[in-house]
């Protein structure tokens, strides 16, 4: 029997960040990871909003730049639907600092129409930025980096704080009364028991801890993504007909990713996703490479922070992800911080997370409405795409 203060299942961003903070506070922590934690590479576009950078600072006491992660700034985003696009959704934009071209002479009717359109574009851009979780005081910044660089840093901090890690291991059964988890090494098939004081599921969208304790898996959708060479400096988001979600091209300094993310899961979702992504890749001037992979993203705002008296969930396992954008790095870090504070005697986890949970649920509840408004914004007030 192994004994530990906190057993954390999943050595992703949430699990390793939590382990690091608990170790630093003097708690014995054991991290179980079903893959090889140092070699695994999480499928992720690697976009960090300003709030994710703030969460990173709250956890590590250093900025992402001080930590040497050097994310590239996303200078511009274009949102597309059909043959139209809304450019400058993000574009070196600072409040009050937009450069406007001198007005061209035109008829009164054309001027009034144009006034409505440009006002509408401003409102549309602001609405899109808000829905993306971007804030004016952070200058609406989004920076991007290869995700492995971030995960390696977080895991490295946990290990250098003396944290223990068991690779290729997972949990098979949980005895909540005795606080014992029956675990298994997936390579040797050897089983072992871990007695814990607290158990944390940080094992992502298909959390086994959540399904063992809550009796059901949370609803998730498929996302496909591939790493591709840079083919442009501006990000492109293509909203799709008849399905909530989008395809993306995200440049991140040395490389880029293309991917797609749809909420409507049908039996052949992978085939549909692949076809759409293939067409989109040609549109942005790249072709799908052989490293196309799939992963799950929680989709319905079904947030669960506590899964029993001594059991908690963080990050994707808790359903903490922004349903509109698929962004979850911020939530992984901020939930790890809030739970670590609680476990060392600070503010209760649920209280600290209240506003975050509200934001996630609100976006999930209004997802369908948001996507349909975004699609009509782009089509009605966007400009024809020039190739």
Ligand X SMILES: Cc1cc2nc3c(=O)[nH]c(=O)nc-3n(C[C@H](O)[C@H](O)[C@H](O)COP(=O)(O)OP(=O)(O)OC[C@H]3O[C@@H](n4cnc5c(N)ncnc54)[C@H](O)[C@@H]3O)c2cc1C
Return residues touching ligand X (CB under 6 A): 9-15, 32-35, 40, 42-47, 52, 170, 202-204, 208, 223, 225, 259, 295, 297, 315-317, 321, 326-330, 332
- The three-state secondary structure class of 214 is helix
Sequence-distant (6+) residues with CB within 8 A of 352 are 338, 341, 342, 346
The count of C-alpha atoms lying within 13 angstroms of the C-alpha of 347, restricted to the half-sphere facing its C-beta, is 8
Residue 285 CB, nearest distance to ligand X (Å)?
21
Nearer to ligand X, 38 or 366 (CB): 38
**What is the Cα gyration radius of the chain?**
22
3-state helix, strand, coil split of the chain in percent (to 5) is 35, 25, 40
Enter the tokens of residue 308: 């029993």
Residue 119 CB, nearest distance to ligand X (Å)?
31
Long-range residue pairs from 360-364, CB within 8 A, at least 24 positions apart, any chain: 360/301, 360/303, 360/319, 360/320, 360/321, 360/322, 360/323, 360/331, 361/301, 361/303, 363/131, 363/301, 363/322, 363/323, 363/324, 364/299, 364/300, 364/301, 364/323
- Residue 316, CA distances (Å) to 10, 129, 233, 245, 268 in order: 11, 22, 29, 18, 24
Nearer to ligand X, 171 or 381 (CB): 171
Nearer to ligand X, 43 or 381 (CB): 43
The count of C-alpha atoms lying within 13 angstroms of the C-alpha of 263, restricted to the half-sphere facing its C-beta, is 20
Nearer to ligand X, 67 or 381 (CB): 67
Residue 150 CB, nearest distance to ligand X (Å)?
9
Residue the block writes with tokens 């192994």: 2
Nearer to ligand X, 47 or 67 (CB): 47
Nearer to ligand X, 330 or 337 (CB): 330
Nearer to ligand X, 125 or 330 (CB): 330
Nearest to 45 by CA among 335, 282, 325, 239: 325
Residue 43 CB, nearest distance to ligand X (Å)?
4
Our separate counts of H helices and E strands in the chain read 10, 19
Residue 36 CB, nearest distance to ligand X (Å)?
9
Q: How far apart are CA 44 and CA 224, in angstroms?
A: 10
Nearest to 31 by CA among 10, 14, 3: 10
Nearer to ligand X, 47 or 59 (CB): 47
Nearer to ligand X, 89 or 332 (CB): 332
């Amino acid at each position: 029997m192994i004994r530990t203060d906190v057993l954390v299942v999943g050595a992703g961003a949430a699990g390793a960040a939590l382990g690091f903070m608990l170790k630093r506070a003097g708690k014995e922590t054991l991290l179980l990871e079903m893959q090889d934690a140092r070699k695994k590479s999480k499928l992720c576009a690697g976009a960090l909003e300003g709030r994710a950078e703030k969460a990173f600072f709250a956890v590590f006491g250093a900025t992402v730049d001080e930590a040497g992660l050097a994310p590239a700034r996303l200078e511009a985003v274009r949102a597309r639907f059909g043959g139209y696009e809304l450019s400058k959704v993000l574009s070196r934009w600072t409040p009050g600092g937009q450069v406007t071209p001198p007005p061209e002479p035109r008829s009164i009717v054309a001027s009034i129409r144009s006034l409505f359109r440009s006002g509408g574009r401003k409102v549309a851009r602001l609405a899109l930025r808000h829905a993306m979780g971007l804030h004016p005081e952070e200058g609406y910044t989004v920076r991007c980096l290869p995700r492995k660089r971030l995960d390696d840093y977080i895991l490295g901090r946990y290990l250098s704080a003396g944290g223990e890690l068991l690779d290729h291991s997972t949990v098979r059964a949980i005895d909540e009364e005795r606080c014992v988890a029956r675990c298994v090494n997936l390579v040797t098939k050897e089983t072992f028991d871990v007695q814990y004081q607290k158990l944390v599921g940080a094992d992502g969208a298909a959390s086994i801890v959540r399904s063992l304790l809550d009796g059901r898996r949370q609803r998730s959708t498929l996302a496909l993504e591939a790493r591709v060479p840079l083919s442009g400096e501006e990000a492109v988001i293509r909203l799709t007909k008849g399905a909530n979600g989008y395809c993306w091209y995200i440049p991140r300094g040395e490389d880029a990713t293309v991917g797609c993310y749809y909420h409507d899961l049908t039996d052949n979702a992978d085939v549909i996703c692949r076809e759409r992504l293939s067409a989109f890749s040609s549109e942005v001037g790249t072709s799908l490479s052989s490293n196309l992979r799939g992963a799950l993203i929680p989709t319905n705002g079904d947030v669960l922070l506590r899964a029993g008296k001594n059991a908690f969930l963080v990050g994707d396992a808790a359903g903490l992800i922004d349903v509109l954008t698929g962004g979850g790095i911020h939530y992984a870090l901020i939930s790890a911080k809030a739970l670590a504070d609680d476990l060392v005697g600070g503010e209760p986890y649920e209280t600290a997370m209240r506003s975050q949970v509200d934001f996630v649920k609100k976006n999930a509840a209004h997802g369908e409405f948001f996507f349909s408004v975004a699609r009509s914004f782009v089509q009605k007030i966007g400009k024809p795409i020039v190739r």
